[in-house]
Chains A and B, each alone.
Chain A
Amino acid sequence: MSARPVLEAQHRAGAAAAALVLALTLGTLAAVALRAEAPAALGMADWAAVRFTVTQAVLSATLSCLLAIPVARALARRRFPGRGLLVTLLGAPFILPVIVAVLGLLAVFGRAGLVSQGLAFLGLPPVDIYGLHGVVLAHVFFNLPLATRLILQGWLAIPSERFRLAATLGLGPAEIARILERPMLRDALPGAFAVIFLVCLTSFAVALTLGGGPRATTVELAIYQAFTYEFDLGRAALLALVQVALTLLAALFALRAAVPAAMGAGLDRAVERWDAGTAGLRALDTGLLAAVSLFLLLPLGAVAAAGAASLAGLPASVWLATLRSLAVALGSAGLTLMLALPIALLVERLRGRAGSALVEGIGYLTVAASPLVMGTGLFILLFPLADPAALALPVTATVNAAMTLPFALRALIPALREAEASYGRLADSLGIEGGARLRLLILPRLRRALGFSAGIAAAFSMGDLGVIALFANPEIATLPLQLYRLMAAYRMDDALGAALVLMAASLALFWVFDRGGRVNAPA
């Protein structure tokens, strides 16, 4: 629109970042495809893995969404002390390492867990958490809070005037549900379902720990097994293609369903309601919120309580692994910003032109990528060049950065658009261009979004148990991998201690970065 000179350097940086993302997604996929055998090689076990993957993802997404509706409704229409804390708690599983949550769920629902102990007290047999229902339970643990937050956003997006109007018309809960709430849910639910379905499709660590065996193996897990147990690269590659086909289908569906943003702001508002004051509804909401709080807090509390006792006696290998994981987390956070910021800048520069949507689309490509496919591809590419084990940590940081990219862009692009819309003309009229524009306008206005992005990148990669399992040998384990090995060796005390360290490190990393973006940040 203006005759502003084209900023070649920024263009190039954005194009280079987009090219790297393409190489990491399509490039690794091509590397895998070249190694794959003909489709006839898919065996019975492989088809079982496909069926299991889809079944558990459908079940997990359906249960998470259905349970989230009444919980979100309760949060939307009740005001009570600690409500803000509960909303924050609902954000925690998003950045919680999977392996920590699995350990916590084992402590509550496992053979020797709290629930089984209670059943034994009543003379009943213990529950068995392994298998489909265990995998679904863990997925609901992670995604019920996510679904609740997404649906709560929908509830709070209904203007409060509508509820006031409904009250003056004397509408009761049933009429309000029909006139106001169900239309909102029709808009919000498909997006929430699609996101969770996609997340569960690429589930690896949960299946690795709570699934396994011929009847509870996801495709991601099958890739890992083909790779590590049988070292059958061709079969791993073939499964990788199946995985990509699955996620692509789901991602296309998700795109149609308008995926909601992860960085939900303004959830601290409760809508004034006049229809939900009856004692029965109050008791229902109170019970629901208490149950969800317990469901989230008990496993984490169990890890914290049991882990604290064994902290002092943790072997040195755990602390070494912690240092390695911290290095991976910081590297991944830095890399995420180095990819996301140039891409966001390029998307904004090209706004209004076809290239903008293309670059943005490339940035979101990793939504449909599976980390194990990316890892397998990188392994195939790097195997002839270098010892893959030596590259395990950089590859882990890189793959995690790529997987975080869509979340980072989700936060950065709107913030950048807002900064340019509000202050772009002022900066133009003052001739603030290039590096000075970055330093004086963009970075200060993007602080919150940058802090949030770095925070989730660091937390994700701190807790990642995925790619690292493909590459690492015992000498260079990250903390999640070390923790998994302790579990596999039935050293549960040490495992719980390591889980506490991992949980604390992940939450602290997120907090430090996210906080850093907010402190002293002017409105």
Chain B
Amino acid sequence: MLRLEGVEVRLGEFRLTADLAVSRGALCAVIGPSGSGKSTLLNTIAGFLAPEAGRVTWGDADLTDLAPGARPVSVIFQDQNLFPHLTVAENVGLGLRPTLNLSADDRAQVEAALGRVGLAGLGQRRPAALSGGQQSRVALARMLLMARPVVLLDEPFSALGPALKAEMLDLVAELARETGATCLIITHEPGDARRIASHVILVDDGRAAPPVETAALFADPPEALRRYLG
């Protein structure tokens, strides 16, 4: 279980509070108006922001003081998910070894992960030689290899067209099911949440609400969600 206990994050004037728990293996959409604090929530779980109060825990482990790389968390950002000067295989390999000293076995795993996301044989290319959708797949392949139990996705496919985005969301859901990872994915589109998410965290007015089952939430939207949906 991923818990945020009495968490308070301050960014200049902005303040976000969160007191919630996400159960293991849930695929949780994070929705809310822009500027409401969705990214702040994810950055706190990822370790890029230190909370002023409260703690972040995974199971029995307190993550609050851990560096981002030391947390059981992998992150897929909105952009800049790949180092442009490294090959696709190297970018994926970083998920196994941050020093990139890859053994033959590691390389085989990289190739297998690339195959799983439909990029077999493209390992030697640079990211610039791939399409936007393919670049997202590289990031997902690395996420697979990192095999961290928590996966955070910050509007990862917002630059893709609707069909491609749906395809990528389905791939995320598939991979999450296969690996049993707990996922939090930020999205602007209620449709995205309905498509793949088991739960929804609504972030509004500086507060992240505990997750609610997706179907139940949209069947009877609270006031804040109604305002957001318009």
Contact = CB atoms under 8 A, between A and B. Distances in A.
B85 A429 contact: no
Given A2-B67, A3-B50, A440-B100, A429 B83 contact: no
B74 interface: yes
A278 interface: no
A261 interface: no
Contacts of B99: 432, 435-436, 440
Contacts of B95: 430
Contacts of A444: 83, 85-86
Contact of B73 (A422, A429, A433, A439): A429
Contact of B66 (A3, A435, A436, A523): A3
B67 A428 contact: yes
Interface string B126-158: 101000000000000000001000000000000
Given A3-B50, A422-B80, A440-B86, A429 B68 contact: yes
A429 to B, nearest CB: 4
Contact of B69 (A422, A423, A432, A445): A432
Chain B CB within 10 Å, residue with most, of A429, A430, A444, A445: A429
A443 to B, nearest CB: 9
A440 B67 CA distance: 19
A425 B67 contact: no
B48 interface: yes
B128 A523 contact: yes
Contacts of A422: 80
A426 interface: yes
A81 interface: no
Interface string B74-101: 1101001101111000000011001110
Interface in A2-28: 2-5
Contacts of A432: 69, 94, 98-99
A266 interface: no
A288 interface: no
B49 interface: yes
Nearest to B71: A429
Contacts of B70: 431
A2 B50 CA distance: 6
A124 interface: no
A433 B94 CA distance: 12
B46 interface: yes
A440 B99 CA distance: 8
Contacts of A428: 47-48, 67-69
B98 A423 contact: no
Contacts of A1: 48-50
B65 interface: yes
Contacts of A159: none
Given A3-B66, A423-B80, A425-B68, A430 B50 contact: no
Interface in A498-523: 521-523
A2 B68 CA distance: 8
Interface residues of A, number: 25
Contacts of A433: 69, 98
Given A425-B48, A426-B83, A441-B83, A4 B68 contact: yes
Interface string A290-324: 00000000000000000000000000000000000
A169 B65 CA distance: 60
Contact of A426 (B50, B65, B67, B80): B80
Given A431-B69, A440-B86, A426 B77 contact: yes
Contact of A429 (B75, B86, B100, B126): B75
Interface string A120-139: 00000000000000000000
Interface string A219-236: 000000000000000000
B74 A429 contact: yes
A2 B48 contact: yes
B47 A3 contact: yes
A466 B86 CA distance: 43
Given A2-B48, A444-B85, A436 B68 contact: no
Contact of A522 (B66, B81, B84, B146): B84
Contact of B67 (A5, A445, A522, A523): A5
Contacts of A3: 47, 50, 65-67
B98 A436 contact: yes
B88 to A, nearest CB: 13
A430 B95 CA distance: 7
A1 B50 CA distance: 7
A3 B128 CA distance: 32
Interface in A432-457: 432-433, 435-436, 439-441, 444-445
Contacts of B128: 522-523
A427 to B, nearest CB: 8
Contacts of B146: 430
Nearest to B148: A429
Contacts of B49: 1-2
Contacts of B77: 425-426
A412 B95 CA distance: 28
A2 B67 CA distance: 7
A436 B100 contact: yes
Interface in A399-434: 422-423, 425-426, 428-433
- Which 6 A/B pairs are nearest by Cβ-Cβ distance? A431-B69, A444-B85, A428-B68, A436-B99, A429-B75, A432-B98
Interface of B: 46-50, 65-70, 73-75, 77, 80-81, 83-86, 94-95, 98-100, 126, 128, 146
Given A425-B48, A445-B85, 19 more contacts: A1-B50, A2-B67, A2-B68, A3-B67, A422-B80, A428-B69, A429-B75, A430-B69, A432-B94, A432-B98, A436-B98, A436-B100, A439-B100, A440-B83, A440-B94, A440-B100, A444-B83, A522-B85, A522-B126
13 contacts: A2-B48, A2-B50, A2-B67, A3-B67, A4-B67, A4-B68, A426-B75, A428-B68, A432-B98, A433-B98, A436-B99, A440-B83, A440-B86
